[in-house]
Homo-oligomer: A and B are copies of this chain.
């Protein structure tokens, strides 16, 4: 029990290990789903627009399609008079063609007739009995017209592979006729909790026992990232029980093992992973706080992640490793630092954070918003959540994590910090390469 952790790896070494060992086995495998089922899915292919959107130039107003130059100089006191030669019908092609001095009635969304270059709002016109209209305003070419391809041009990239499909993306796919879309299949992730002290939350608790938090919290995190958790349940800290659990889960795409942080139990996990499949354990111990006792192994191609037993630590390390792992499984590259930080909220640290140098640290903070009444002067305060960082209510209270690089010795109060959401799908790990733009 006195054996210390093997050499701790930095998160950048972790990134290299992931790149070396993860096989992109889902790279070719794609699932075609109906657009109605596509919400939150991750696009598996880069899709281009197959046609212009809108596919024809349309009016943005109710009124008259016209030639702008016919209105030059028009005003309330100097109307121009134009001939109405017909009406564009909604949803139909129009064969109308305008010459100088002519307009056509058009509804919002109607197809612009040939020759027209603007649409006059009905409010700027007056019908006169001879079939003409009076126009009381001066129009510019293009005014109140949505041109063919204004939204997107044919052959432009619509969405990149790896895009998460939210409401705007699904709308764009609908608009371009992508009724079925190629997405990545959800991964099945087995979640095993180990520990002789653990009971299920629905069991009667006896003294010395603790309810299993990790199965449920990790399951929810996997769902947040679009995957299918398979809660295997609680396994006692014995070689036999662990071996059986790993064997029974090895068909899953990913295995999460969380529990007992004691050195003896960790050693047991390592032995069992090495015994169950090759190459076995490839990382043991991270120079990341919280997360020192992290284990990463592979049973052939199936990753096994040994997470800390403390629920908050387990969630932070899951967020550090799983999104990165899954991107690589899917044949995508790791995000850049800039991408990881793009969803971060910039805040002002209200209290100092002290951090031992030599370890990268993720510190949960709560956000509050101070606003002195002027819209321009909003200050977001980040309050480090006091107390022991491995408590689950700490994460409930927190809005995200402040990352303190290994070389930094804490941060003084008043520092500008970046608060990264815990459950962001880009995760916490970024690629090593230095981007030009940081």
A residues near B (Cβ < 8 Å) are: 1-2, 4, 35-36, 38-40, 53-56, 58, 60, 62, 89-94, 107-111, 122-123, 146, 150-152, 158-159, 165-180, 195-198, 200-202, 205-221, 223-224, 231, 237, 260-264, 309, 311-312, 315, 338, 341-346, 367, 369-373, 375-378, 380, 387-388, 390-396, 398-399, 405, 408, 415-416, 418, 422-423, 437-438
| CB-based contact B197/A90 at 8 Å | yes
Contact B150 A370 (CB under 8 A): no
Contacts of A168 in B (CB 8 A): 217, 312, 315, 392-393, 395-396, 398, 422
Cβ-defined contact, B195 with A231, below 8 A? no
Task: Name the CB-closest residue of B to A308.
Answer: B108
Contact call B369/A91, Cβ cutoff below 8 A: no
A416 to B371, CA, bound (A): 13
A392 engages B151 (CB within 8 Å): yes
Chain B residue numbers with a CB within 8 Å of A36 are: 216, 219, 231
Chain B residues whose CB sits within 8 angstroms of the CB of A367 once the complex forms = 342
Which residues of chain B come closer than 8 Å to A223, judged between CB atoms? 39-40
Say whether B93 contacts A207, CB under 8 Å.
Answer: yes
Contact between chains at A438 and B393 (CB < 8 Å): no
Return A156 CB to nearest CB of chain B, in Å: 9
Known: A174-B213, A346-B380, A370-B437. 7 other contacts (CB 8 A): A166-B220, A167-B218, A167-B423, A171-B217, A179-B200, A344-B345, A345-B345
Complex Cα gap A53–B38 (Å): 39
Q: Which residues of B contact A167 (CB under 8 A)?
A: 217-218, 220-221, 224, 315, 395, 422-423
- Docked pose: A430 CA to B248 CA in angstroms: 51
Q: Which residues does chain B contribute within 8 Å of A369, judged by CB atoms?
A: 338, 341-342, 437-438
A370 partner residues in chain B, CB cutoff 8 A: 437-438
Name the residue of chain B whose CB is nearest to the CB of A231.
B36
Shortest distance in angstroms between A385's beta carbon and chain B's nearest beta carbon? 11
With A109-B261, A393-B172 known to touch, is A208 a contact of B346 (CB < 8 Å)? Answer: no
For residue A140, give the distance in angstroms from its CB to the closest CB of chain B: 14
Choice from B197, B378, B405 contacting A375 with Cβ under 8 Å: B405
Shortest Cβ distance from A55 into B: residue: B205
Given contacts A231-B36, A422-B168, contact A62 B146 (CB under 8 A): no
Min CB distance A178 to B, Å, is: 7
A-B contact pairs, 23 of them (CB 8 A): A39-B224, A55-B210, A90-B260, A91-B196, A92-B207, A92-B208, A107-B262, A151-B392, A158-B393, A159-B396, A168-B422, A170-B216, A170-B219, A171-B315, A175-B392, A179-B200, A338-B371, A342-B367, A344-B345, A371-B437, A375-B408, A375-B418, A378-B416
Q: Are A210 and B423 in contact (CB under 8 A)?
A: no
Q: Are A166 and B416 in contact (CB under 8 A)?
A: no
Closest 8 CB pairs of A and B: A171-B217, A371-B438, A91-B197, A93-B207, A168-B395, A179-B202, A174-B216, A167-B221
